[in-house]
């Protein structure tokens, strides 16, 4: 089966490159990243995925999420071991937890990602919304999943 189209990926990466600035060169201690991951998963009442921080110059990716293994990998050699990158990857994980058959960087993902960036004081959601509008990103109506009850 062919992978599902991901029409928003280029727009999202363009937005992220605008906001990354110094973040692209920031690196957080592994313990701090683990704590952030645990806090996010506790907030959403889901079990946390495993987190692995690597130094791999041969791989071209900053970070990735492996659905089948419930594993998030952050790559220190590619500027991928900081809070913003972790929140991007954990948004993929949460999207998989709460939704089925959605685009990889679709409305649901963007809504969760925007909420996390706001909640953990990286980017206020109003600022993110303005930037998303500029980049023509579509955001789900709720920035917390329907399944989330608080």
Q: What is the mean pLDDT of residues 52-60?
A: 74
Average pLDDT taken over every residue of the chain: 81
Q: Which of 46-50, 79-83, 112-116 is predicted least confidently?
A: 79-83
85-113 residue pLDDT tens: 899 999 999 998 888 888 888 889 999 99
Q: What is the mean pLDDT of residues 18-28?
A: 67
Structure confidence at residue 56 (pLDDT): 72
**Whole-number Cα distances in Å, 23 to 1, 80, 102:** 36, 9, 28
Burial class (CB in 10 A: 0-12, 13-18, 19+), 59: middle
Structure confidence at residue 50 (pLDDT): 92
Structure confidence at residue 40 (pLDDT): 95
- Percentage of residues of the chain with pLDDT beyond 70: 78
Dihedral angle at the C-alpha atoms of 77, 79, 80, 82, nearest 10 degrees?
120
The pTM (predicted TM-score) of the whole model is 0.83
Q: Which domains does the chain have, with CATH numbers?
A: 9-16+26-134 (3.30.2010.10)
Question: What would the two tokens of residue 118 be?
Answer: 């706001």
- The residues, any chain, with a CB within 8 Å of residue 15's CB and separated by 6 or more, are 131, 132, 134, 135, 137
Q: What is the mean pLDDT of residues 31-58?
A: 90
Structure confidence at residue 3 (pLDDT): 46
Structure confidence at residue 2 (pLDDT): 42
């Amino acid at each position: 089966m062919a992978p599902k189209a991901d029409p928003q990926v280029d727009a999202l990466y363009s937005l992220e490159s605008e906001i990354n600035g110094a973040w692209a060169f920031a690196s957080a201690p592994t313990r701090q990243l683990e704590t952030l991951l645990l806090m996010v998963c506790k907030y959403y009442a889901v079990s946390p995925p495993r987190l692995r921080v690597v130094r791999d110059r041969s791989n071209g990716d900053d970070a990735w999420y492996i659905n089948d293994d419930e594993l998030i990998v952050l790559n220190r050699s590619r500027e991928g071991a900081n809070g913003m990158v972790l929140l991007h990857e954990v948004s993929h994980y949460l999207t998989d937890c709460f939704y089925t058959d959605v685009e990889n960087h679709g409305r649901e993902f963007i809504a969760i990602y925007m909420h996390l960036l706001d909640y953990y004081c990286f980017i206020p959601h109003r600022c993110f919304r303005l930037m998303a509008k500029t980049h023509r990103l579509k955001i789900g109506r709720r920035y917390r999943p329907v399944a989330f009850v608080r």
